[in-house]
Amino acid sequence: MGEGGLAGLTYHVRTFGCQMNLHDSERVAGVLDSCGMLEAPTPEEADVVVFMTCCVREKADTHLQGQASAMVSAPVPPSGLRTVCVGGCIAQREGDAMRSFIPNVDVVFGTQAIASLPRLIEESRSEAGSSLKADTAEPGTAFSSDLPDHRESPFHAWVPIMTGCNNFCSYCIVPYVRGRERSRAMEDVVAEVKALVADGVREVCLLGQNVNSYGRDRYGEPRFAELLRAVAATGVERIRFTSSHPKDLTDETIAAMAELPAVMPQLHLAVQSGSTDVLRRMNRKYTRKDYLDLVRRIRAAMPDIALSTDIIVGFPNETEEDFLETLSLVREAAFSSAFTFIYSKREGTPAAAVDDPTPRDEIQGRFDRLVALVQEQSWDYNRRQVGRTVDVLVEGPSKKDPGVLTGHSPENVTVLFEAPEGADSADLVGKVVPVEVLDGRPWYLRGTCAGDPR
């Protein structure tokens, strides 16, 4: 069968995990669009359901199992046959073994096999799902950015600059499912951003498992600072990037961030622990002192930067003293926000083989103390924004109140505000609106329109 056999079928993509998965989901949707398929608003209404997965934490596996298995009892789709597909990191990890824990899966495609998805769906449907169709080829030279896309936003775009990781943190599965670092050619990244700007995109987010090492594999040395300058020269209004590893964040990159108005004053810099001993066992390749020295250099160059982070609680054999060092680092670094996690064992990583006698309730207690501190700091940071006027890129109405608009400040803080009297809210989506901050809450700002949108 040819891919034309998919024309007229409906599809729905559900995404778990990181920004790279969000980008890959847009490419999945673009590939299916190019086959003549039509997007359905819910999985229950789709002939083809695609789950794009993350395997960094155990919770993602559980969510996938529950949602994929629920398709068995879902209403019969328009074509009379539903095809369940699993892509992304869990698919890469499990391959042909996927049916051992999700019996109703029909298609499995790995992190480098998005282009194969239409063929796999055709083959599965021609056999009514009697056998699993899988493609989990090892990473090659192609990038998913070379495929058609179906962007969720007309004014924001994800732009991968590299994929894979060479760091092999002892708790992390990513290098095993995404492969080693592979950087795109700088001219290809810049050409993509230029095309996006011509298409009306105002904000791009540069993606990689470790953007700070961009170019090392291709050019022999990291060239991320140079890339930032080249992307800024395209005229794009806002530039963000993730993820950023502390050991590779250079003074040249800090200088570029400080000098380029298009680079937003926000940085996500995962610390994971405040204990040098735990960092050593995590194979993070920096110490507590190294991280705090880096924070001081960043703030010296950009005093108003919003610094966020990731922190893991309960890494095998973490002691109370280790945890107290994490709390003190959080206070000293003065993060504007933080993503906090209880350690999740990932089979196949070195840390998974380490026994830990620490009681679960003790780990939970530490986690609760950290969350309380992070919330306190986020609230303090947001209250300090009261009285400022911030430029908000409007994303749409609030989910809780359609009369309230939501977007993000340059510091990447969620901002809520009511549309000016007489203005059509829909006309403001994708516009930059100056908003005077009237109230700072732990997780968002609230304000009022303070000028004309642009």
For residue 272, give the DSSP letter: B
Report d(CA 10, CA 327) in Å as an integer. 49
142 in a domain, yes or no?
A: no
234 touches 192 (CB < 8 A): no
pLDDT band at residue 101 under the 50/70/90 scheme: confident
137 has a pLDDT exceeding 80:
no
85 marked as binding residue: no
Report d(CA 2, CA 122) in Å as an integer. 7
Structural domain total, the chain? 3
Residue 420 is part of a domain; what is its CATH number?
A: 2.40.50
Tell me: do 316 and 431 sit in the same domain.
Answer: no
454 in a domain, yes or no?
A: no
169 marked as binding residue: yes
pLDDT band at residue 112 under the 50/70/90 scheme: confident
**The dihedral sign for the CA sequence 294, 295, 301, 307:** positive
- Domain encompassing residue 35: 3-135
Tell me: do 217 and 264 sit in the same domain.
Answer: yes
With tokens 């064992």, the residue in question is 345
205 marked as binding residue: no
85 has a pLDDT exceeding 70:
yes
55 marked as binding residue: no
Tell me the per-residue pLDDT of 332-359, one tens digit each, with 9 for 90 and over.
999 999 999 999 888 889 999 999 999 9
pLDDT of 329 reads 98
pTM comes to 0.89
262 has a pLDDT exceeding 50:
yes
Tell me the per-residue pLDDT of 269-293, one tens digit each, with 9 for 90 and over.
999 999 999 999 999 999 999 999 9
Tell me: do 252 and 157 sit in the same domain.
Answer: yes
148 in a domain, yes or no?
A: no
Encode 1-40: b = buried (16+ Cβ within 10 Å), e = exposed. eebeebeebbbbbbbbbbbbbbbbbbbbbbbbeebebeeb
Helix (H, G, I), strand (E, B) or coil at 119: helix
- The burial class, CB within 10 Å (0-12 / 13-18 / 19+), for 80 is exposed
Tell me the per-residue pLDDT of 148-158, one tens digit each, with 9 for 90 and over.
788 889 999 99
Question: How many of the other CB atoms lie within 10 Å of CB of 195?
Answer: 12
